[in-house]
Amino acid sequence: MSISKIVVGSILLAGILRAQPPARHAVVEHVVSRVSSAQLRQSVEKLVGFGTRHTLSDTGNATRGIGAARRWIKSEFEQSAQRSGGRMSVAYHETIVPPSGRVPAPANIINVVATLKGISAPERIIVIGAHYDSRASDPLDALSDAPGANDDGSGTALVLELARVMADQMFDATMVFIAFAGEEQGLLGATAWADQARDRGWNVEAMLNNDIVGNSMGGDGVKDDRSVRLFSEAFSPLDTGSVFRMRNSLGLESDGSSRSLARWIDDVADKYVNGFDVRLIYRRDRFLRGGDHAPFHARGIPAVRFSVARENYDWQHQNVRVENGKEYGDLVQFMDFAYLANVARVNAAALATLALAPAAPRNAGVVVSRLEYETTLRWNANTEPDLAGYYVRIRETTSPVWQEEVFTRDTVLTIPKLKDDYLFGVQAVDRGGARSLITIPLPAR
């Protein structure tokens, strides 16, 4: 090849490289780097200090019970809000619930909510939540100590920490940070908020639930401080009838919106958090158990649950006591704050990316005009001013993760692969490198 051809070739190559946005977004890297394990420890210790945070515990006492706890959570959110330039607002979300199995009389369930309004697309909403209520052995016991360091002081501290590191940064979409009440009494606070989102037609693009995310030593003596489980359900219960039949016939059973969100989070975590793995679990939650993401998923909102790799059942839902020399109870001393910080970093990376990224492409389709040996995909153009283009993602039908990608600035792409043998997805990316959720193309004629 002549020198001039090499020079022209290099310029072309440089142009192509410039066209692709960076692999990591600077703002995401910044917020991830701000997560502090010392701050997380302080928050968990403070939450444990309220003695019990049982949903039916005393609300008037200044230092003990769920009332004192939520006033403190609100004041922590308000401190973050002070650095937001007026964009973060903090409020209680209250619902009177009727008596049920774990609620003997009508009760006021109070979530604490901090909303960081998005700048260019405030109608797009990303939710991160954890429950701040706790329980002892008996779910109706509102008097005994229920420290709830890990369940779910860990998740609550994480949500406070993320509000702190995000508050003074600029995002396209709106972030909602929620400390839920009534989880242990039947997912009451989360259900009330998810109902409200549905009834008001809010565009909630994702919900990340963190529940028991702060210990690394399992009850079986096995330690894992290198991974966190991420639970996701397959289909939305709203995907019924012809929608279900088409998804099933196309082999999209692992590409429902919550499962797809989980896969996307795994992808993001690999970019921003070294040496710490997201382990996808294809299940709503732990076997026959539940959490605050479930009412969101049930209403068609993509929702997933983070939980530790190794649980210890002596440390959750137990009265604090020593029996035959063995310690029971959900205490700070059993926690691993370096581990909790890594889970918080994964959440920070996911939340910040979701709120910076363009919206997921709409109307993505696999063009089916005739039988052919390549696959043509098309989708509607995104309208964000900072849009850089799109990634088409490719994986084999049996692969849990995306394996290949192609960057394009077009809204049509032909890939030399047989559509019979692969799954495809399309995501938009901004010039900073924040990638949207992935849209799964459906047949288009």
Binding site for Zn ion (CB under 5 A): 151-152, 211
Nearer to Zn ion, 181 or 428 (CB): 181
- Give me the least distance between CB of 147 and Zn ion, in Å please: 13
Question: Please, are residues 135 and 141 in contact by the beta-carbon 8 Å criterion?
Answer: yes
* Chain centroid offset of residue 216 CA: 20
- Give me the least distance between CB of 349 and Zn ion, in Å please: 23
DSSP codes of every residue in 110-177: EEEEEEE--SSEEEEEEEEEEE-----SSTT--SS-B--IIIIIIHHHHHHHHHHHHTTS--SEEEEE
Nearer to Zn ion, 151 or 311 (CB): 151
- Give me the least distance between CB of 306 and Zn ion, in Å please: 11
For residue 257, give both structure tokens.
């919106």
Nearer to Zn ion, 179 or 426 (CB): 179
Nearer to Zn ion, 152 or 430 (CB): 152
Nearer to Zn ion, 298 or 392 (CB): 298
Contacts of 37 (CB under 8 A, 6+ apart): 337, 338, 340, 341
- Give me the least distance between CB of 207 and Zn ion, in Å please: 15
- Give me the least distance between CB of 435 and Zn ion, in Å please: 31
Nearer to Zn ion, 102 or 198 (CB): 102
Q: Say how far apart CA 341 and CA 321 lie, in whole Å.
A: 28
Nearer to Zn ion, 294 or 429 (CB): 294
Query: CA end-to-end span of the chain, whole Å?
Result: 44
Which residues sit opposite 312 in a β-bridge?
none
Angle between helices 26-34 and 155-166 (to 10 degrees): 130
- Give me the least distance between CB of 133 and Zn ion, in Å please: 9
Q: Say how far apart CA 368 and CA 419 lie, in whole Å.
A: 10
In this structure, what are the phi and psi dihedrals at residue 275, rounded to the nearest 5 degrees? 70, 15
- Give me the least distance between CB of 213 and Zn ion, in Å please: 10
